[in-house]
Structure 1
Amino acid sequence: MATMLKLDRLTKRYGAETVLDGVSLSVAEGETVAIFGPSGSGKTVLLRLISGMSEPEDGELLINGRDVVGTAPEERGVGMAFQNFALFPHMSAYENIASPLQARKSTAAKVKEGVDRVARLLKIDHVLGHAPRQLSNGQKQRTALARALVAAPKLLLLDDPLRNVDAKLRFEMRLELPRLLQGFGSTVLYVTQDYREAMALGNRIAVLVGGRFVQVGNPEEIYDRPATVEVARLFGDPTINLIEAEIQAGNGGPVAVVGEGRLPLAPGYDGLVGRRAVLGIRPEDIDYAEPGDPQAVPVRVAALLPLNDRLVRLLVGRDGQEFNASKDAGARSLGEGAETAFRAAPTSIILFDPATGQRIAPQAH
């Protein structure tokens, strides 16, 4: 598949601060890539560079094989929708959506055809005559999205467009947006601080931290095999359990000594025997065992927290270490103060280097 967008060592500074530090990324035609990361990591700045609203200090930015650094925004064929809607207050919803087509000097008939089509798709055709102040936040968001889509841009940049809408609409749009974007055939960069949104909308996720891409991969890869402890912490609610442990030899292969318990590891970690590692265990991967199980960690249930359809238990080991365990609310009943033990499937345990924070991949036999 052809490459629509290529970023090569793109760097952006504001004074002495380097906001983007040599970022590189290739995006295929028709692909949706979610740019995910914490606040201040450079996500919006990256979109501004691609759109032409700002220029990099160094690096190349190619759209359809053409370096567009220094090219005016209107010559890049890029559509953009912002999290704050950025609608023209003196224009109706219709006029806001129509503005990109009118800038292209499209005929009145073509403008009407384009606006009506995208408004129907986004279910805002009944408010086209309204001014922005008369629209709900959800309608404003859809109007801004319609304006970005109406000219059928080959490259669409969405800057956290669901951040300022209510939870119900955000959930609905997570379901609807992939279908809409596929229908328009655009290549999409979707910026978000919500890991669920990134996983729902992106064919791939590019994790941006401190102005650098620390991992790029499909949602399953990033969740199950995070490149670093930092990436692991960004995905999941409750957050991943991180436990420093010594790796020892066991009867059936290497085991991790956690407090007064032992957890078997997957094959391929024999080279770690005698060393320490950080174990990453997702709360939903923790299972309960009998307190005397030799392949489990004895713990006490310190607190219970209902979370939607799940019940989160705070577990405390005999050495004082704390662990979160998340199971469906109907799982085995263990009340506060109960003595129990936990284990995890060896293949669900992720190992990290305690010095660098990098994931340690199992070695093939």
Structure 2
Amino acid sequence: MTTLALNNVTKRYGKDTILDAVSLSIEDGETLAIFGPSGAGKTVLLRLIAGMTEPEAGEILMNGEDLIEVAPEHRSVGMAFQNFALFPHMSAFENIAAPLEAKPAKGDGIAVGVRKIAELLKIDHVLNHAPRALSNGQKQRTALARALVGAPKILLLDDPLRNVDAKLRFEMRLELPRLLEGFGSTVLYVTQDYREAMALGDRIAVLMDGRFAQVGTPEEIYLAPATIAVAELFGDPVINLFDAEVMAEDGHVTARVGRARLALPAGFKAAAGRPVVLGIRPESVVRSRAGSAGAINATVAALLPLNDRMVRLLITEDGQEFYTSRDFGEGSDAGEGATLTIGAAPEDIMLFDKESGHRIAPDAAAGRPIE
């Protein structure tokens, strides 16, 4: 069942259009990650849903009810901000209790509610502390507790892990899904970190230039990005992109990249003669046998350890640059200056229209469908 729906919502500040007729449906109990670059309109979107600002056009519906005329305190929406936004003159207890003060529950009811959520978030031992006496992790958990204590139907999290250290950020990526599932709230989680979006979101909505460029599961967006721009936002190192020419000859479909010809799924036959950009994820670049079909000769120009992987920058014979990403130990003989023969499986290759930037999906009748 759809809990929240945005229909053609537009928001402007002066002459600048921040959100341009965006539409989105969020299912009951779903965690939707709103991901995009800085300035894309992510926080503005949350503020509209919370009632902190109003749209110029469009509808915001909760269970079919239009929220535009509903006061913020009556929307059953909780929100946590990236800068914590705690009241400095109040204790952690008072900060968490603030949303309950406007509700019928009083006295012991408020105290029980605050202590219950504080124990769950492991901050019950600092409830008497002022915000200045809390660590960033404790501030973040206090802000989250304040957003959750009223059991809102909709929970809006505006990049809540941005101002905490890397260790806590990693821990909370693991803890948050379990915590949020226990509350049953529908969650919109804003982040500029693609890893966070993929780890926390049941689906990801990619917001760019005031519009949703793609909405899908993490797997769909990573393996089948709607555009070149979306493809470049996900992955480290970034996707390899090359101008290419698609050819269909003797029942075979190939792509010419410089001097190399890479095999493509048969479903790309319709792209023959069309200006395209070919994309290969670094982890999809594999070692190949010299002289085999689609093999590309390259030299290792540089190596960069990245977390648990080794990234290599390869330069092909005709000057094309390839990034590869492999677990440590895989191809460990390929140090700087080494010569490699590389390739990619046809099903791991993406094609994009060069003019529009949109991904070209192969014909499902002729090859393995991607979308």
TM-score, normalization by structure 1: 0.97
CA distance in 1, matches of 2:39, 2:290: 45
Question: Could you tell me how far 1:252 is from its partner in structure 2?
Answer: 6.1
Q: 1:42-191 alignment to 2 at 5 Å?
A: 42-191=41-190
Q: Residues 24-79 of structure 1, C-alpha deviation per residue, up to 9 Å, x if partnerless?
A: 00111111100000000000000000000000000011112111113211011100
Moved more, 259-268 or 127-136: 259-268
Aligned position for 2:219: 220
Distance, in Å, in 1 between the alignment partners of 2:31 and 2:152 is 14
CA contact (8 A) 1:6 1:26 kept: yes
Other-structure match for 2:10: 11
2:335 — aligned with what?
A: 335
Mind listing any 5+ residue stretches in structure 2 that lack a counterpart? 366-371
- Whole-angstrom distance in 2 between the partners of 1:258 and 1:169: 44
SS at match of 2:267: coil
In 2: Cα distance, 1:149 partner to 1:251 partner: 62
Aligned with 1:331: secondary structure?
Answer: coil
Q: CA deviation at 1:154?
A: 0.5
| Partner AA of 2:319 in structure 1 | G
What is the rounded CA distance, in whole Å, between the counterparts of 1:308 and 1:71 in structure 2? 47
* 1:182-221 equivalence runs, <5 A: 182-221=181-220
What RMSD over aligned residues (CA atoms) do the two structures have, in Å?
Answer: 1.1
Name the residue aligned to 1:318.
317
SS of corresponding position for 1:269: helix
Alignment-mate amino acid for residue 30 of structure 1: G
CA contact (8 A) 1:11 1:58 kept: yes
Point out where structure 1 has 5 or more consecutive residues left out of the alignment: none
SS in 1 for 2:322: strand
Residue-by-residue CA offset, 1:284-329 (whole Å, 9 max, x unaligned)? 1110123433322221111111111111000111221111100011
User: How far, CA to CA, are the matches of 1:67 and 1:273 in structure 2?
Assistant: 48
**What percent of counterpart residues are identical?**
66
d(CA) in 2 for partners of 1:169, 1:135: 14
Deviations along 1:181-220, one digit per CA (max 9) or x if unpaired, are 1100100000000111111111111100011001001110
| Greater Cα shift, 177-186 or 249-258 | 249-258
Equivalent pair of 1:259/1:318 in contact (CA under 8 Å): no
Counterparts of 1:339 and 1:251, CA distance in 2: 32
In structure 1, C-alpha distance between the alignment counterparts of 2:177 and 2:13, rounded to whole Å: 34
Q: Which moved more, 1:111-120 or 1:248-257?
A: 248-257
Contact 1:261 1:294 in 2 (8 A): no
SS at match of 2:325: strand
Distance in 1 separating the partners of 2:23 and 2:238: 28
TM-fit CA distance, 1:341: 2.0
The 8 Å contact of residues 275 and 355 in structure 2, kept in 1 or not, is answered as no
Instruction: State the Cα deviation string for residues 148-181 of structure 1 (Å, max 9, x = none).
Output: 0000000000000000000111111111101111
Q: CA deviation at 1:10?
A: 0.3
Moved more, 40-49 or 251-260: 251-260
Report the Cα offset of residue 105 of structure 1: 3.7
Count of matched residue pairs: 364
How high is the TM-score relative to the length of structure 2? 0.96
Measured after TM superposition, the shift of residue 250 of structure 1 is 5.2
3-state DSSP of counterpart to 1:303? strand
Aligned to 1:267: 266
Structure 1 segments, 4+ long, off by >4 Å, are: none
